[in-house]
């Protein structure tokens, strides 16, 4: 866009050198073109800022969702513990109760293992073709 304005201004400057044209009128036209360029740039950058702000919001949300998806669940407990320790130092009451040994791994085999539920299989009786035909005939009448 600015290149097009620059070409117009360059053309007007070239015309000023020709004695046939009135230099004062061409300078006025050049000033009008410069004003139009400034207005066009201002409008472009006003919209550009809006576009950049929308993109920034989208990127922030995308990154936050990505960070949440990839965060280790154990990190959440560490954050809670740090916050509770900070509240304790300030003399504030706790907001969360942390169970003793919550930060130890449960991979030592002492977990209670549940057996998978067994579902009862109920056989489905196939419908008699004759009884279905009779029922549809009665409905049709």
Please, are residues 93 and 83 in contact by the beta-carbon 8 Å criterion? no
The per-residue pLDDT for range 45-88, each reduced to its tens digit, is 888 888 889 999 999 999 999 888 887 877 888 888 899 999 99
Q: At what angle do helices 23-70 and 2-16 cross, to 10 degrees?
A: 170
Query: Buried (b) or exposed (e) across 66-82, using 16+ Cβ within 10 A?
Result: eeeeeeeeeeeeeeeee
- Domain boundaries in the chain? 1-98
d(CA 4, CA 92): 66
Straight-line distance from the first to the last Cα atom of the chain, in angstroms, rounded to the nearest whole number: 77
**86-125 tens-digit pLDDT:** 999 999 998 888 777 766 665 554 544 454 555 555 555 5
Q: Is the pTM of this model over 0.95?
A: no
């Amino acid at each position: 866009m600015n290149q097009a304005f620059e070409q117009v201004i360059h053309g007007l400057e070239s015309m000023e050198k020709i004695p046939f044209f009135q230099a004062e009128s061409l300078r006025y036209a050049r000033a009008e073109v410069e004003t139009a360029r400034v207005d066009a740039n201002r409008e472009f950058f006003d919209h550009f800022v809006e576009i950049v702000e929308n993109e920034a919001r989208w990127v922030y949300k995308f990154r936050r969702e990505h960070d949440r998806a990839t965060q280790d669940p154990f990190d959440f407990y560490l954050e809670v513990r740090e916050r509770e320790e900070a509240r304790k130092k300030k003399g504030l009451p706790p907001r969360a109760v942390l169970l003793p040994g919550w930060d130890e791994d449960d991979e030592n085999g002492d977990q209670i293992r549940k057996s998978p539920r067994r579902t009862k299989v109920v056989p489905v009786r196939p419908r008699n073709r004759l009884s279905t035909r009779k029922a549809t005939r009665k409905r049709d009448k």
